[in-house]
Homo-oligomer: A and B are copies of this chain.
Amino acid sequence: MRYSESIWRGASAMTDGTVKGGAMAGGAVNSGAVAMVETWRGTLPESRHRGHAVICDASGGIVAAWGDPEAIIFPRSSCKMLQALPLVESGAADGLSAEQLALACASHNGAEMHVARVARWLAEMGLAESDLRCGTQVPDDAPERHRLRAAGEAPCQLHNNCSGKHAGFLALNRHLGGGSEYGAIDHPVQTAVRAAFEEMTGAASPGWGIDGCSAPNFATTVHGLALAMARMADPRGLGRAREDAARRLVAAMVAHPELVAGEGRACTELMEAMGGAVAVKTGAEAVFVAILPARGLGVALKIEDGATRASECAIAALLVRLGAAEADDPAVARRLRPPILSRRGFLAGDIRPAEGFWQGGAAI
């Protein structure tokens, strides 16, 4: 599917990040989130997703923004490559493969290919599944889920979408010599993660919460997260160890997109569609980031309501506007304007970028 050329050429300038809405009832004022994605049914909009997005360079200079760049968010799994920085720059990852580093940055499906690799990694360290502190998760991967049910097996911690990140935490922990509860907020592993996170985002974290995998997740702003991604894209000046670590992690992600997420997943398919030129990563509650090394740019977005269908549509839209992805590539189109079908297969509507987010659509 291809969008009208006129949309691309129509407006000559970027919007200022605001969207004028319809009639206001009672003078309601929002907190800066702007309409980014809508679902339509027939000829009417049915639902609307608001959010914040920032595209910036490694100095923090904003190239484009929507909503409130300073909105505080939890990056959730979108920052796994930041959480993996101490693993690599400490030397703890010396000898680790690109596959292992991709898994350290992954929110994987818990498919056999993920589970087996994490199990092998743990074995290489002389550790076992029971050393993980991520908790168990029913795998998203349907074949593995059905295999478990047929075999009467319970899912284990290896199936947790974060098991690769936790294997990375364990590898770092072996290097640091910390205790077994490596997910505790005051554990040396998390102290190192926090330091790297705050250096990359450029500010002290305004707070932290417990992530789904029970590890700390540090809050930042949308702008801070985009800055961190721009620094992953262009790590010059961060010091040799961090520069090398950033380049190695981004290279690992784009070399093994199937390990970063899994079959049919947005991260995997979008990275494959962009041929290794751009790394992308999703996070729970509708965060999405992109790292564009060729342009030295970072992207971060958060849909304020936490809907993944919207964060996937929005990142696809931004990647197209950045010239990094093609709107008619099936992997992109599937996120950018997925049809909504009835259970008999009738076309009922679609999900699409909101007009104010998508228009003003000169290439960025």
Contacts and interface: CB of A to CB of B under 8 A. Distances in A.
Given A46-B285, A210-B342, A23 B18 contact: no
Nearest to A356: B28
A143 to B, nearest CB: 13
Contact of A30 (B47, B50, B160): B50
A18 B22 contact: no
Interface residues of A, number: 73
A298 interface: no
Given A20-B29, A74-B41, A305-B307, A349 B135 contact: no
Given A29-B24, A34-B28, A73-B46, A348 B18 contact: no
Given A42-B207, A50-B50, A343 B28 contact: no
A237 interface: no
Nearest to A211: B342
A58 interface: no
Interface stretch (A64-72, A77-85, A246-254, A272-280): A64-72
A271 interface: no
Given A32-B25, A342-B211, A342-B214, A74 B44 contact: yes
Interface in A28-60: 28-35, 39, 41-44, 46-50
A interface SS class: loop
Interface in A318-340: none
Nearest to A161: B343
Nearest to A37: B305
B41 A348 contact: no
Interface centre among A28, A149, A217, A303 (most CB of B within 10 A): A28
A349 B209 contact: yes
Contacts of A73: 46
A28 B18 contact: yes
Contact of A135 (B46, B136, B344): B344
A26 B32 contact: yes
24 contacts: A17-B25, A19-B28, A19-B29, A20-B29, A21-B29, A23-B32, A24-B29, A24-B30, A25-B67, A25-B68, A29-B30, A30-B50, A39-B285, A41-B210, A46-B73, A50-B50, A50-B305, A134-B344, A210-B342, A210-B349, A211-B342, A214-B343, A305-B307, A305-B310
Given A25-B68, A134-B344, 9 more contacts: A22-B32, A24-B29, A25-B32, A42-B208, A47-B304, A47-B305, A133-B344, A149-B149, A210-B347
Interface of A: 16-35, 39, 41-44, 46-50, 67-74, 133-137, 146, 149, 160, 206-214, 217, 219, 285-286, 303-307, 310, 342-349
